[in-house]
Amino acid sequence: MNIIVCMKQVIDLEQIRIKPNTREPVIEGLPLLFGDFEKCALEEAIRIKEVHGGKVTALAVGSPKLRDTIKEALAMGADEAIILIDPIFQDSDAMGSARVLARTIEKVGEYDLILLGDSSADEYSGEIPPRIAELLNLPQVGFVREIEVVADNDQMSEPKKIRVARDMEDSLEVIEVDLPAVIGVTSELNTPRLAPLSAILKASRKPMHEWRSDDIGVTAEEVGARASVVEMLSNLAPIQDRKGIIYQDVEEGVIEVIKALQQEGVLTQ
Amino acid sequence: MEFRLSAEQELFKRMVREFCEKNIEPRSREMDDKEEGIPDELIQGLADLGVFGIMIPEKYGGSAPEGEEMTYANIAIQELGRAEMSMALPVYTLLCLGWGFLITKYGTEQLKEEVLPRVAAGEYFVGIATTEPGGGSDIANIQTSGVHKDGKFTVNGEKVYISGVLESIKQREGGHITLIRTDPDAGHRGFTFIFIPAKLPGVSYSTFEDIGRMALSTGGLVYKDVEVPEYYLLGEVNRGFYLNMEGFNLARILVSSACVGMTEKALEISRDYVKQRVLFGRPLAKFEGISFEIADDHAKLEQIKLYLQYTAWAADTLYKEPDFITQRELSRMVSICKMTAPKLGAEITQRCMTHLGAFSYTKDCPLGRGLRGILSYVVGAEGGYHIQKLIIAREFIGDEAVPYR
């Protein structure tokens, strides 16, 4: 089974500081890493490949720093990587990004499954999986936390279906999907592996292709800032409101505080 | 000139950090309290990541980044020092790495095949046994004897303050590269370096009660007519002194790495605390008495960290280009690291404790574990504080500064 995993490099969220007086996030100079969602997608692709064979291709759009970042995907177990670096891709909205990814996937041509994070850790729009599916005219399921390959009766042929569990918060919806399909995954899907040293050292020997806009036939009119129809008005940390509840009665206060701490999971019964 | 880590080195560092933060740091207090050694699953996890195979070629089950071994080892051991501040686990690991490298370089084929794959897999401990009741700093005075006859060495004597005694006999398996006297009349040219598995008949042990790094045992080893097969020899007979010095160069770099990692974490704990702790109506960080102290300590630590990276690189370069510098020149650089990192780290950690106040004197705070652990590397462990000065003086001033000549 040939699986394409779309991955996005995002700033290391753990290192973001918030300016206390303006609530603006300080993101300049932070390292770029793959987010947890895309690593879960890649992990699942590798696990499927380990059972059913085939090839895993990691695909990412981003800044030149991607030449380094992509090595993690290769070290984790992707067989091959395609990175797209071009100034005209910068400041794309979700439609622009989906267009770059869809054109690249079309150019790759051979695929049975496209896996990606349901949302990215930084912008969290959740738009990319359905938009790619629409552009490629493929079935799509989002919020997926379990994937099972449905084996054909004829064991020799390639699997043609997968069964996925979609997280509906209060329930799980199980869906069978014909391949090829686009699947957006959540971080409950698995725990991504850490790449061992031996794989890290071999990562740069795996094939890595670097493509620009010409290679996939997109123009500055279709992607990037010029094509973007979304404008960000504000990006601030939420105001942290203290509740400021005062209990006059000590007994009642203690009981309420314990209840609140239990609700927050700080205290267990 | 290239100061930054490569993409691969950065990635490896992040992988080790992720593993340590998730698995090791949460158990560091338990390890120190229980005094039952390092949990197997932590060693296994590090072995799976390739940490125990850094110095071991692929052929023997390792994953050595050839020509960059010490640079990678420095990265990994710093991360372990950050996560397990008592430094039991970092030291267990660095001994396997540093002294394992000596087996890689100078062991016989049979020894390498027997031991190295198990070291890389985390099943087997490799340590060093040089110090004796009569001295450790004064190596030329070593008494443990070995008679080389009929394809074996018969060893008699005693070693003390040896790390990893229980680990190599009871908890896991392992052995120590041991300095023995094979020619009583030849001074420092009469020493031989052999590997002695701790379970060989005739080896007995005792343990000491340390005040720090409680998850790693320290003890004594007694050898009574221990028959060590010839293939356990490292290098050549009567050349052990030089190999010991070479091994010290590697292990001292990595001891410094553990100290730098621990100290970096201590400063971060202090930094985070002074930002949120309010005193007299403002955060502690607003008091220059505190913030300037942290700034000074950060600056000093950054300097030794960079010099340590340079020294690790120099060691790597020396193995690639044997005429790059001499082992003695490397010793000078290594001793600057080993003299500075433990003592500076102990001083900084103590200052961090004063920033945190009484909380730092409880076991809930890791700084106390850090201070107890790092003192081990001030007073001794791969050469004490003053011995490093002696080496630096010998190499910089000359033989005029050497008391033993």
Contacts of B58 in chain A (CB under 8 A): 198
pLDDT digit string (tens) for B354-405?
999 999 999 999 999 999 999 999 988 788 899 999 999 999 999 888 887 7
CA B235, distance to chain mean position in Å, is 22
> Residues A150-167: what's their mean pLDDT?
81
Return the residue matching tokens 């030149």: A64
Express each pLDDT in B127-186 by its tens digit: 999 999 887 777 778 899 999 999 999 999 999 999 999 999 999 999 999 999 999 888
pLDDT in tens, A73-118: 999 999 999 999 999 998 888 899 999 999 999 999 989 999 999 8
The larger pLDDT score, comparing residue A156 to residue B228, is at B228
CB B275 within 8 A of CB B285: yes
| C-alpha span between A252 and A81 (Å, rounded) | 61
Average pLDDT for residues A16-33, to the nearest whole number? Answer: 86
**Cβ–Cβ gap B8/A194 under 8 Å:** no
> Fold for domain B240-401?
Butyryl-CoA Dehydrogenase, subunit A; domain 3 (1.20.140)
pLDDT at A167: 93
A119-123, A201-205, B68-72, B350-354: range with lowest mean pLDDT: A119-123
Q: Which residues of B touch A33 (CB under 8 A)?
A: 14
Residue of A nearest to B11 (CA): A72
Mean pLDDT over residues B199-218, rounded? 94
Q: CA–CA separation, B107 vs B239, rounded Å?
A: 13
Taking alpha carbons only, the member of B53, B56, B55, B36 closest to residue B44 is B53
Q: How many CB atoms lie within 10 A of CB B272?
A: 11
CA–CA min distance A62, chain B (Å)? 16
Instruction: State residue B86's pLDDT score.
Output: 96
pLDDT tens digit string along B6-52? 999 999 999 999 999 999 999 999 999 999 999 999 999 999 999 99
Residue A230: pLDDT band by 50, 70, 90 thresholds?
A: confident
Cβ of B8 and A203 within 8 Å? yes
Q: What is the pLDDT of residues B277-330, one digit of tens each?
A: 999 999 999 999 999 999 999 999 999 999 999 999 999 999 999 999 999 999
Tokens coding A33: 């890493």
The ipTM estimated for the assembled molecules is: 0.92
State yes or no: pLDDT of B125 exceeds 70.
yes
- Confirm if B180 and B194 have CB atoms less than 8 A apart: yes
- Closest residue in B to A204 (Cα) is B8
Find which of B6, B11, B13 to mutate to test the A interface (most A CBs within 10 Å of its CB).
B11
Number of domains forming the structure of chain A: 1
Q: How many helices (H) and strands (E) does chain B have?
A: 12, 10
The secondary structure of residue B107, as a DSSP letter, is B
Q: Which of residues 2-61 of A touch B (CB under 8 A)?
A: 33
% of chain B with per-residue pLDDT over 90: 89
Mean per-residue pLDDT, B102-107 = 96
Of B138, B127, B104, B119, residue with least CA distance to B52:
B119
Q: Mean pLDDT for chain B?
A: 94
Q: Note whether B253 and B212 are within 8 A (CB).
A: no
Rg of chain A's alpha carbons, rounded to an integer?
22
Q: Which of A33, A198, A203 sits opposite B63 (nearest CB)?
A: A198
Measure Cα distances from B76 to A29, A129, B70, B95, B261 in Å: 24, 38, 10, 13, 9
Is the Cβ of A196 closer than 8 Å to some Cβ of chain B?
A: yes
Cβ–Cβ pairs < 8 A, chains A and B? 45
Q: For residue range B220-275, list pLDDT tens digits in order.
A: 999 999 999 999 999 999 999 999 999 999 999 999 999 999 999 999 999 999 99
Which residues of chain A lie closer than 8 angstroms to B12, CB-CB?
197, 200
Among A39-48, A240-249, B141-150, B218-227, the range scoring the smallest mean pLDDT is A240-249
Question: Which range of residues forms the domain containing residue A206?
Answer: 2-227
**Structure tokens of A179?**
């391949």
**Domain assignment present for A254:** no
Task: Provide, as residue numbers in chain A, all residues whose Cβ is less than 8 Å from the Cβ of B14.
Answer: 33
- Asked if residue A264 is part of any domain, the answer here is no
CATH of the domain at A86: 3.40.50.620
Helix (H, G, I), strand (E, B) or coil at B74: helix
Model pLDDT, residue B380: 81
Q: How confident is the model at residue B188 (pLDDT cuts 50, 70, 90)?
A: confident
In a domain, A151, yes or no: yes
In this predicted structure, the answer to whether residue A154 has a pLDDT above a threshold of 70 is no
Tell me the one-letter amino acid at A15: Q
Nearest by CB: A194 against B8, B19, B58: B19
CATH number (2.40.110.10, 2.40.50.140, 3.60.20.30, 3.30.70.141) of B127-234 reads 2.40.110.10
Q: Given a cut of 70, is residue A155 above it in pLDDT?
A: no
- Would A57 be classed as within a structural domain? yes
Is the Cβ pair B49, A200 closer than 8 Å?
A: no
Judge whether B248 and B139 are in contact, CB under 8 Å.
no
Report how far apart, in Å, the C-alpha atoms of A113 and of each of A73, A199, B55, B322, B353 are.
17, 24, 40, 52, 55
What pLDDT is recorded for position A153? Answer: 64
Question: Which one, of B364, B87, B94, lies nearest residue B212 by Cα?
Answer: B87
Contacts of A149 (CB under 8 A, 6+ apart): A1, A48, A51, A52, A159, A161, A162
For residue B69, the one-letter residue type is E
The yes/no answer on whether domain B7-125 falls in CATH 1.10.540.10 is yes
Span A114-123, mean pLDDT? 87
- Alpha-carbon distance A190 to A240, whole Å? 32
Whether the predicted pLDDT of A242 surpasses 80: no
Contact across the interface for A71 and B51, Cβ inside 8 Å: no
Q: What's the DSSP call for residue A267?
A: S
pTM over 0.90: yes
CA distance A97 to chain B (A): 26
How does pLDDT run across B68-98, given as a tens digit for each residue? 999 999 999 999 999 999 999 999 999 999 9
The pLDDT-based confidence of A237 (bands split at 50, 70, 90) is confident
Residue A69, min C-alpha distance to chain B (Å): 8
Neighbours of A175 (CB within 10 A): 14
- Map out the domains of chain B as residue ranges: 7-125, 127-234, 240-401
CA distance A202 to chain B (A): 10
Find all residues with CB under 8 Å of A107, minimum gap 6, and list them.
Answer: A211, A215, A216, A217
Q: Does residue A269 lie in a domain region?
A: no
User: For residue A161, with 0-12 CB atoms within 10 Å meaning exposed, 13-18 middle and 19 or more buried, which class applies?
Assistant: middle
CA-to-CA distance for B53 and B69, rounded, in angstroms?
10
Q: Quick check: A200 and B11 CB within 8 A?
A: yes
Chain B residues within an 8 Å CB radius of A67: 7
User: Of the candidates B67, B62, B68, B71, which has an alpha carbon nearest to the alpha carbon of residue B96?
Assistant: B62
Report the Cα–Cα distance between both ends of chain B, in Å, rounded.
39
Nearest to A196 among B49, B65, B72 (CB): B49
Interface of B with A in 29-68 (CB under 8 A): 48-51, 53-54, 58, 63, 65
* Chain A nearest-CA residue for B69: A197
